[in-house]
Structure 1
Amino acid sequence: MRGRKLFHAVGPYLSAVAVVATAAILIFAIYFTQLNLQWITFLTGVLVAAILSLVGRTSHAQWTLLRRSAQLSSVKEKLERESRLRKKAEETIASGKSRLHLIDEVMSERVAFVDTDGRYRYHNRAFRDGLNLRPEQIDGRRMREVLGAKVHGEMAAAVRQSLEGRTVRYEQTQKMPSGASRRLSVQHLPQFGGDGKVTGFHILATDVTEQGEVSLPAEPPFPAPAPGRAGHDTAAPNVAGDGVAEQDMFVDLLSEQITGRNDAGSRIMAAIENDEFRLFCQRITPLAVNSAEAEHYEILIRLMEEEENMMPPGAFFPLAEKYGLMPHLDRWVVQHVIEWVSSQDLRGTRREDSIFFINMAGATIHDPEFPDFVRGQLQKYGVPGAALCFEITDSELTSTDVKAAEFARQIRQCGCRIALSGFGRDRISFELLHGLQAEFLKIDGSIILDILRDRVDLAKVTAINRVAKTIGMKTIAEFVESDEIVAKLRELTVDFAQGFGISRPRPLAELGSFIGTEVG
């Protein structure tokens, strides 16, 4: 190795010496000897070849030097760029350190991140304190291992939907070691990578137990309800008291993390005004064999992806609720659904008795001008009111039954239908239906999911369906995930089914001529 390096070092000098020696011999041969012309020509050729060889080696050395210089320049620029990026990243981390500390150590909301393998990759103090576990008992472990088979089974459908890119919101009851129960409002927010694929989902859980609710139960409580339907029909109640400021701060941080902006209210309002939302729909199919009933569709809404700052479907609902924009968003949905139905009617591609279900936010139910808006849009586009069904959640009816009843009365005057969704999630009370006159009763997915394994849930569904039929309401089972559940619901004579076992959400614009003709 040392000999090779020595040779490369002295090689150029040896070539120069050889050329000089050859030239000297040639000159000596010409002037001091009697060599003939052929011998002189030969020596001249040798001299020229030596010169060309030396020139070639010199050119190669220069080219190598230029290439190495260019490489060094490129490496230098790359290092400088990386240094600038590292400095910028360090500044960003430093500026966000206080906010990260707030989420990690101070916030009362439970926050965690689960990857596509179902393993916890992040959690804050409130999350592990709520589970009464140490960090090493959560980090990197699977949800089933941390939560237990029973609780994980109840969340399985919500986890599956989150990993498919849907936002899921539901309430769950957690039984504490003391025997007391706490009520949690839970959200799953999908996280998307740069290629648009889901890389995992965030879990946000807020304790919404009212003062005085935490007490030892007189009898064992019902099993914790499993996830409800994604959408703004299951909005989490506000946290009262001193938690309001903390909750607002949390939503602000959430909006900045999701949208990349700190003015989420203006961003959502601009999206409404610029038609940046897109409508999706999920099929609601009749269960009776050879049924003549039409298939219906529930309307879902998503916000268009914005360059690198992609907002997950439905993640904007808590932000829109905070800034009082839900009535504006609901108006946008109603207008565009009616406009789309009108276009299909003109083409003759819509079955007349197909109904489109639209979820109503609590703020919209309180809006006295909303029924007049619906009436005006129906008249503007010439669409019959019977094409729409407005969903009121069981929780909204519980808390504002008078306003909900008045809302339902005015909507029915427009010719539209009313559905009560999420029935049976918290408690079962048919007294809530008096004055509502709803045509449809949606049985909550939390009890539909376990009807094949839980005799109590099966009994609940059976009783709800029978009572609903008695008072003239058609029943819709939510969160139907398998053919076996479909068969059981058909045996119970439930009227309709909705869920991933029936149909996945699809863009409303692609529905077209398939309305009323799809098969399960």
Structure 2
Amino acid sequence: MNEQLSPRISHTKSYVVSSIAIIVLAILMASNFLTLGLESNVISILWGTLVIVVITMIIQTLSIERNYAEYLTQLHNNKERLANEIKHRLWAEKTTSENKTRLQIIDENFPVMLAYFNSKQQCCYHNRAYRLWFSLKSEQIDNHSPQQFLNTEFYQGIKENIDNLLSGEIIHGQRIQKLISGSVCLISEQFIPHFDAKGKVIGFYTLYTPRILKEHESITENSKNNLVEIRSEKNSAEEKSSQNKNSRLSSEMNFASRVLKAINQGEFHLYFQSIISTNQGSNQITFCEILIRMAEEETNLIPPGAFLPLVEKYNGSRLAEINNI
């Protein structure tokens, strides 16, 4: 009952209660000083009314103080919430600005030609490399279909795969394009579908990665996957040179092992060659030239020009190390 009365009392106009209190108090004072001759029961009713009015005023005062305290608390909370929202908004704006700068740097320097088309095949995004490659401005691409701004070759690649793209399939392909400068460019293309939260395709990305072939590179077609491969003639020449070098080194090491074996088995022989004076009537041997030869199978002799450079190169002692390899 009290809980039901309190809201009614607190919502009663304060000036009404004050007016009643003043009137009752005036009547009581008049009856006391002017001897109006009021009956005692009337006076009791007036005093009861005054007490009720005073209690009502006290309740209203307490209610106002409580509401004021709640309003102050709510105002403080709103102030803190607003300060936090402003702080987070400033942080978000700063982060957005930084990310926009980073994205702009990526957009300007990303080497892949990137564009995004919605399900209606309208271009919603394109990077700088995409615009430069096709020599177009943003207004010529934005919200336009690829048929309106792409050349026939590139548009044909999208047209042939659009049904597979919208069904959720990722498409890979390659194309060869000859540039105005005469260079040959291999373009790798990818078409990637974009799904929403429900798994429905709502658009697709197109990525073109160009690579200009160098003079020593050539293109060969792979019949297994209908793709082309880049083969470097320079690398082939280097591989062949490396193989020849390894072959010579292996042959040299084998011969070094043979020389060491000849040293250990005493297969080196000394030969004396006489030197006779050319003066007339003189047949006297004045000098001898000592020649060294290495014996080989079937009584063949290997001249020093074949093994001495090897001995000088490895200083004799290195031959033993080579033999143990």
Query: Normalising to structure 2: TM-score of the pair?
Result: 0.48
For the pair shown, the structure with the greater C-alpha radius of gyration is 2
Where relative contact order (Cα < 8 A, 6+ residues apart) is larger, the structure is: 1
Greater percentage in strand: 2
Query: Normalising to structure 1: TM-score of the pair?
Result: 0.33
